A and B are shown apart, each in its own frame.
Chain A
Amino acid sequence: MMTPQTMQSFPYSNLLPEIILGSGIILILILGLFDRVRYGHLKLLTSVIVFGSFVYTLLPNSNSYGGSLLLADGKNLLMFKAILSAVALLILPIIRRDQVSKNQSEFLSLFLSLLLGAQLAFTANQMALLLLATELMAISAYVLTLFLFNQQSAEAGLKYFIYGSVGTGLMLFGFSLIYAATGATHWNQIGQLLQQGNLDGGLPAAGVIMMTGGVLLKLGAAPFHLWIPDVYAASRFSVLAIFSTLPKIAASVLLLRWYGGLAFSADGQWMAILMIVAMVTLVAGNFPALLQKNVRRLMGYSSIAQGGFILLAVLISNAQPFSLAFYLAAMSLSNILVFYCLNWFARSHGAIDSKDFNGLGRKYFIPSLGLTVGLLSLTGLPPLAGFSAKVFLFSGLWFAADATGSQIQFSALIFGLLNTVVALFYYIRIPRSLFLEGGASGRNIQLSWSEKLFILSLTLVLIAFFIAPAAIHLPDFLN
């Protein structure tokens, strides 16, 4: 077990990814004060910062913090950190100038602080630091919601804020109950104490429930999902790309660490309760999605459903985080591709409802292809990464069900599979409008070569991950 290290021996250089991000935020904010600094420069700098943090995550031995506040246990965490930074890097192309209004440096620094919060939440080993990290993430997210600067987005931001605060409150209350029961604030110590089982059962159990509720809210899982459709309906696509990926990755890794051995063991009733939560989340996302016409709301409900699948992946990942990592990577890449193309259609044609896409596939092949590939990957069809992700997930579920003989895991498997068919109903709606319906007219807008390149390369990456899924282990090989 780790022992708290002294200040002198703490290897600060291992914190470099976080230090790069933190100083980057300040730098961007300061540069934003000068009128002469243009958006292109700021974005380039942001890319360099994120890239720097990404590269440093990949460098050998950067994962052994060994401190008591931050604890990185094993290479799996490194894999998740690499995925997080890589996803953030890929979101940057969506944050075009028109997405940020006049508040260029603010948007970018909020984006970076959200990323920093997510990174810290991975490794935080202490209650207060974890709370700070998740709040950094959440507060950045509240403000990002407002970037449409209209009544609707203000309402959505407020709604998000209220829901989020309740989540934070729940988490904090859970922390205090656990502290009351164990007298410790470090997760590894708490884990030891709880597993020894010499504590009064009621208090820590209540604490765990509340704390989990707080994290489920970040994941967008039922019953804490109600904010998602409204927030999605009132936010910019770049913000949606962020919301549907980074906080979900952070929240799922947090859950994995809590339930996957760091603090509590994932057995028995906790597993069963969370499996049921996952199944309810799938229904809460997939069935309302069938009724949506607005693509933002549709993607909101899709994101809820994806949260359900992520939760299932977390629950089977105790010994094998690979399927969770792969699911997160595949889902994030697909979401980024979808939002990039949706953003293009919204910008060029003001397409908001699925009928607005009618016939556009014939005129604009590449964005339509990208959108279709992204949505089919989210559905889980071959030959795309989303398919492999679902196969690994279901295979893991079956393995767990078979090993434990648990009916609930078996039901979750069947439930997840049936939901895949339901999901096709609404995921196919936009491709159907694009290619099967007629009637696009009006002006013809050309894509720039960089837009084409981005869409095509992301499409190829989704196919490449299907052909060679082991590529996701790349960070491990580098170490």
Chain B
Amino acid sequence: MNLNAILLNLLIFLPLAIAVAMLFLPNGDSKRLQQLAVLTGVVQVVLAVVLLVNWQMNVKGYQAEIAAPWFSVSSGDRMLFSAGYHVGLDGLSLPMVVLSAVVMLLAAILSAKVNSQVKGYFLLFQVLNTAIMGTFAALDMFLFYVFFEFMLIPMYFLIGIWGGPNRSYAAVKFFLYTLFGSILILVAMIILYQSTGEPGTFGISHSFDVEVLTGLKGLLPGSALDPVNPTLWFGLRASTWVFLLLATGFAIKIPAVPLHTWLPDAHVEASTPISVILAALLLKTGAYGLIRFGVLILPTEFQEFQFTLSIVAVVSIIYGSLNALASADLKRMIAYSSVAHMGFVLLGISAGNTVAIQGAIFQMTSHGIISAMLFILAGVIQDRTGSRLIGHYSGLYQKMPGFTSIVLIAFFAAMGIPGFSSFIGELLILIGGFSSTALPGTIPVLATIGILLSAGYLLWTISRMIFGTFHSKVEGDLYDLNKKEWTVLLPLALLTLVLGIYPGPLLDVILPFAEKFSALTSIGASLPLK
């Protein structure tokens, strides 16, 4: 086991160890609990930076990898079930892991405002932290599924206990929607497991390992997924069903229209740090899962559905933007803008070529940063007065100049103005979309309507809330950003600027994975952008 693998495992399991340690801390000492969470976050960011520094560019395959058997159960002499512990990073997961470390640290800092049941809050927070890291690092589908589903329980309580007035409803809705998605993924996972493997001494040894599953490398002849003499269910091939199950399951998490309705409720009710995690990281797990465990495992089936996926993506972009335009609540508007931005990620995936997937992963990273900023800003306003309604405010620039400057950065970044990271992401996705042989040109054209609409709702919000004469319909002292808010917002603002002006290194990290992706989806890859 190399040093990087040790660091990666530390990154995943440190929060869990801290959570166990927290059990023995007194409940009343809320300050120390929060400090401990922040300290964990700092250590994780350091670990992530070390992984980043040690990263070897232009290496295909995984780094910081460790693979070991986890468990296997047998009945008589027949192997029933076995799973491995296999984690590692590549161009897809490294950006996500680094993003997660940063966002979790900022969320821990923001959690200082939690004032009831602080111990429970930070316990769940740390468990969630481990689950998110594990989801992005797992290279065994069973392990991935366990982490993926284990995010639900802490998230349910974090929304349900520390959320807004309608939190209970939102938490249950979130839980049920995402559990339903997980169940679909579970079926697909079981079918994939039983249909792949290699002959061993004890009959066929199946495996959940991503290497066996990717491109159905270990496909057993005669199994349900065998393209020769395929099994048909209701007129569709079994492999098509498996892809549909995976795509639907992950689309709930992304979320893609029409499976998105849990998202606005969850966002509006969740407290600021939880909203940040939800938008910046949890949505990414859906896109991540779709890429690694959907498209890469079943690339042939993916090709059949590229067009359908792109339609879903465009509908998400336009429908999400229109809803954002109509939202009176600032948080709801940002939540719908997330639907639209994740639609771009889906569009990048569906285009299926190197540039587009590079753009999609870049957009995932960029949206993680920008949506975190937007939700923190919405939280700032809510903290001051308790109201998030856009119509309650105007002329905020007079009272809150610092806030105004960050709002302008965040909103322009969300619009995709050149110089900000989302410009690069959306541009690459659109280039990839136009050059994709699988999609008609109208699809990216329609997607650009979404960019126009986003300019519409973001500029309109700025003009209503920020400019004009000062006016507030709600009580409360509208003071400018305090030190803590600056600490969390400035790094994010800098990150989106840096990635927008100098995207090269991140694109280089993504490139080997993007090439592997487009080689599997085997559609003529246009020149990769450096």
Given contacts A323-B80, A394-B190, contact A421 B75 (CB under 8 A): no
**How far, in whole Å, are A100 and B396 apart by their CA atoms in the complex?**
69
**How far, in whole Å, are A319 and B203 apart by their CA atoms in the complex?**
14
**A residues 396-436 touching B (CB-CB < 8 Å):** 396, 398-399, 402, 405, 410, 413-414, 417-418, 420-421, 424-425, 428, 432, 435-436
Interface string of B162-173 (1 = CB under 8 A from A): 000001100110
Interface string of B349-377 (1 = CB under 8 A from A): 00000000000000000000000000000
**How far, in whole Å, are A38 and B159 apart by their CA atoms in the complex?**
49
**B residues 152-194 touching A (CB-CB < 8 Å):** 152-153, 156-157, 160-161, 167-168, 171-172, 175-176, 179-180, 183, 186-187, 190-191, 193-194
Contact yes or no, A421 B76, CB < 8 A: no
Contact yes or no, B72 A417, CB < 8 A: no
**How far, in whole Å, are A396 and B75 apart by their CA atoms in the complex?**
12
Given contacts A362-B117, A382-B146, A398-B191, contact A436 B168 (CB under 8 A): yes
Flag whether A470 is at the interface (Cβ < 8 A): yes
**B residues 182-231 touching A (CB-CB < 8 Å):** 183, 186-187, 190-191, 193-195, 223-224, 231
Q: With both chains docked as a complex, state the minimum distance between the C-beta of A307 and any C-beta of chain B, in angstroms.
A: 21
Flag whether B78 is at the interface (Cβ < 8 A): yes
Given contacts A322-B75, A421-B176, contact A395 B194 (CB under 8 A): yes
Q: With both chains docked as a complex, state the minimum distance between the C-beta of B174 and any C-beta of chain A, in angstroms.
A: 11
Q: Which residue of B lies closest to A418 (CB)?
A: B183
Contact yes or no, B176 A425, CB < 8 A: yes
Contact yes or no, B183 A320, CB < 8 A: no
**How far, in whole Å, are A77 and B229 apart by their CA atoms in the complex?**
40
Contact yes or no, A467 B71, CB < 8 A: yes
Given contacts A391-B186, A417-B183, contact A402 B194 (CB under 8 A): yes
Q: Which residue of A lies closest to B222 (CB)?
A: A402
Interface string of B133-161 (1 = CB under 8 A from A): 00000000000011001101100110011
Q: In the complex, which of the residues B71, B186, B193, B224 contacts A469, with contact meaning CB atoms closer than 8 Å? A: B71
Q: Interface size on B (CB < 8 Å)? A: 41
Chain B interface mostly: helix
Q: Which residue of B lies closest to A325 (CB)?
A: B75
Contact yes or no, A470 B175, CB < 8 A: no
Contact yes or no, A420 B183, CB < 8 A: yes
Flag whether A468 is at the interface (Cβ < 8 A): yes
**How far, in whole Å, are A231 and B186 apart by their CA atoms in the complex?**
35
**How far, in whole Å, are A344 and B171 apart by their CA atoms in the complex?**
27
Q: With both chains docked as a complex, state the minimum distance between the C-beta of B15 and any C-beta of chain A, in angstroms.
A: 15
Flag whether B24 is at the interface (Cβ < 8 A): no
Q: In the complex, which of the residues A322, A394, A395, A410 contacts B233, with contact meaning CB atoms closer than 8 Å? A: A410
**How far, in whole Å, are A323 and B72 apart by their CA atoms in the complex?**
13
Contact yes or no, A421 B180, CB < 8 A: yes
Contact yes or no, B175 A424, CB < 8 A: yes
**B residues 297-347 touching A (CB-CB < 8 Å):** none
Flag whether B73 is at the interface (Cβ < 8 A): yes
Given contacts A414-B187, A421-B179, contact A395 B146 (CB under 8 A): no
List chain A residues, Cβ under 8 A from B180: 421
Contact yes or no, B150 A383, CB < 8 A: yes
Report the number of A-B residue pairs with Cβ-Cβ less than 8 Å: 101
Q: With both chains docked as a complex, state the minimum distance between the C-beta of B207 and any C-beta of chain A, in angstroms.
A: 13
Q: Which residue of A lies closest to B147 (CB)?
A: A382
**How far, in whole Å, are A93 and B224 apart by their CA atoms in the complex?**
48
**How far, in whole Å, are A200 and B35 apart by their CA atoms in the complex?**
79
Flag whether A473 is at the interface (Cβ < 8 A): yes
Contact yes or no, B80 A392, CB < 8 A: yes
Flag whether A437 is at the interface (Cβ < 8 A): yes
List chain B residues, Cβ under 8 A from A116: none
**B residues 43-83 touching A (CB-CB < 8 Å):** 71-76, 78, 80-81
Q: With both chains docked as a complex, state the minimum distance between the C-beta of B72 and any C-beta of chain A, in angstroms.
A: 7
Q: With both chains docked as a complex, state the minimum distance between the C-beta of A428 and any C-beta of chain B, in angstroms.
A: 7
**How far, in whole Å, are A394 and B190 apart by their CA atoms in the complex?**
8
Flag whether A321 is at the interface (Cβ < 8 A): yes
List chain B residues, Cβ under 8 A from A395: 80-81, 190, 193-194
**How far, in whole Å, are A70 and B443 apart by their CA atoms in the complex?**
72
Point out residues on B near A: beta carbons under 8 Å.
71-76, 78, 80-81, 117, 120, 145-146, 149-150, 152-153, 156-157, 160-161, 167-168, 171-172, 175-176, 179-180, 183, 186-187, 190-191, 193-195, 223-224, 231, 233
Q: What would be 23 A-B contacts, judged by CB atoms less than 8 Å apart?
A: A319-B76, A320-B76, A320-B78, A320-B80, A322-B74, A381-B150, A381-B152, A391-B81, A391-B186, A392-B80, A392-B81, A394-B186, A394-B190, A395-B193, A398-B190, A402-B194, A405-B231, A417-B187, A424-B176, A432-B160, A436-B167, A436-B171, A469-B73
Which 3 residue pairs across A and B have the least CB separation, nearest first?
A: A320-B75, A322-B75, A436-B160
Given contact pairs A382-B145, A387-B146, A470-B72, enumerate 18 new A-B contacts (beta carbons under 8 Å).
A319-B75, A319-B76, A323-B80, A326-B73, A365-B120, A382-B150, A392-B73, A394-B186, A395-B80, A396-B80, A402-B194, A421-B176, A428-B172, A432-B171, A432-B172, A436-B157, A436-B167, A469-B81
